[in-house]
Structure 1
Amino acid sequence: MSITIDVTGLPPERITFAPSPLAELGAMLHALSEPAHHPGLHSWATATTAALKPVLADRLTEADFMWRSARSDLLAPPRPGATLAEDLDWIDSLDNRRFVKAAFEISCNSSYESTVSPLDDADERAKVLELAAARGPRQAQFTERMLDDPDGLRIWLRRLFEDCEQAFFGDTWQRIRVQLAADARHKTELLQRKGLAETVSAVSEAIRLEEYGTGGQRLVLDKLSTGTTSATAEGGLTFLPSAFGWPHLFAGHAPGWQPVILYPVATPELPRPEALELVQARLEALAHPMRMRLTRMLARSSHSTGELATAFGITAPEVSRHLAVLKKAGLITTRRRGRYVLHQLDLQTVARLGSDFLETVLR
């Protein structure tokens, strides 16, 4: 599964790298509501949660469906402002249909690709209310309020975000905005010097530029969802760097909206994410009982093919076939000693397999 963004003929000047205060606030709110997704932010999340006034914490719970399990497109402005107020002005500029549709997408919508508004269609309204009710009475009440009074909820949401700025976001944003701006400048310069393929590779291993048809190009993002959009048709493509987003890679691709990609900024202590196909190949390689037995022996020391064949009572060609699968998945290393080739389990790669898997499904 993947999300594809058609970029055929898209000139570099219509590809934007810029930090967004609103997008980063959304990443922080997600980290507060799902701290298990972000073990590296444990200290920050604990301290911030403890310092929140009960009233603000209660209000955040009302609207957390917009950032908890999925990220609303309202939190990813295609033309980010320099301040949170400017980003909130963009939300205010949306008409009610776009505002409500974006607020309910994924968590309270039957289809992200749908263009039907619950403000206009009774069946869509009923679906939204049903999905909201499944998440508890609090979200059901909030959803009814938004459907009945979208203007009032828009004002309520802006005040909520402004209160977050005063409570914790403002100080944190001042500390990280320089880093995000520097990353955006670096990616912009890389795009100008090296082109889009190398730039997206530097953004994330989960994104690749793919050729198709006659002269066609598209970005393919490893995600557990499927979707297609066009940056050419919708006015361009925006990349938003995030200090609080890791390990998530957010891609806004709703019909009629300019595509937006929110990506985690790489830091020395964070390894680059592995591609979805590689993680899957490693799990499948270890699923075979004989290969699992081989890895237990190779974890202790290096062995030749003949030694492994003797130890497990199978032929050398059988061992070679299993070792080829493990090597292709990057799970073993080989070295030559005289006329023998010795194989050994790559312990560092195996140790990261669990976190690689978690990062992939959370991406």
Structure 2
Amino acid sequence: MKNHYKLTISVLTYNRPHYLIEMLDSIMQQTYHDFYVKIYDNGSIDNTGEIIKPYLKDSRFSYHKFQRNAVENIRIPFDQCDTEYFIWAHDDDIMLPDMVQEELSILENNDEVGLVTVNSNYIDEQGIIFKYSIYSHISINDLVIPRQGFFALFANGKTIVCCPSVMYRMSIIRKYNVYLHYEYGGACDIFQWMEINQYCSMYYISKTLFHYRKHKNQDSQNTLCLDPLLKKPILSLLDNYDNSDILRRKWLKFINRRIFDELFKSKIVPHIAYKTIRHAIFIPHKQEFLFRLKVYFLVFAPLSKVQIKIYRRLRRIFLRTIRS
């Protein structure tokens, strides 16, 4: 039976009960209370099921456990949401008390907005803030991102959406079937926002209302191939955008830049460089790319026989993949 709440907050967790408690406590401390909380356990093998029992005494809370830890489980909370609004929360972050109230106010007073996010702090494993208001350098004021405007921000390196702080208008999700594509891994949320932004605007609240935790076991840190993985789907998506040719060129240049960023970070660890180039299916101005690749090797890797062999192999891979 459909519940009477306006909002569903779904918390996906896996073997992090110490962080999960902090998230659930922050949800209970919200100034807005008309919501339903679904805790999705992605097959934890620790005591998660025990530590959440006190929260289940609140009729707004429910617990659902998957049999195994699987990436496809991340879409299920969206599929099972039957309320007007939805938050997809992570177990290791913290909501500040006014977050839900302020986000909901934006959606209820702006019909053209389909997604709202907030400014956030970075916290460490102990919950200590080490960077305040992480998006203030992009905008010190509230920001309306017009339809098809998020892509340009992202391609210019201005990521202004913090995934677990997002509140969705579910009518947009259902009408246009813009659910998460779990096959894109850690990039699935970015692609979903671009899809949603085809049909509606997005809203950024400049007030800091969220703590985003950064730690070594974080799933979203491994983003080496995030951009190459999304290359083809985003190029297809841009066909539906206005000025698609300009945006496609912007996206390919962005991938080019990101691939070199990853190469420089890798300090020419051969298997990482290999993996990076292997995903470069097509890059504009291929001769420029190959020149930059050669310069990279000259600067960061003395051209010994081994390094020359690696360079030539990467070059062959690159040329072969752009032809395929």
* TM-score where L is the length of structure 2: 0.29
- Bigger fraction of residues in helix: 1
The structure with more radius of gyration:
1
By relative contact order (CA 8 Å, sep 6+), the higher-ranking structure is 1
* TM-score where L is the length of structure 1: 0.27
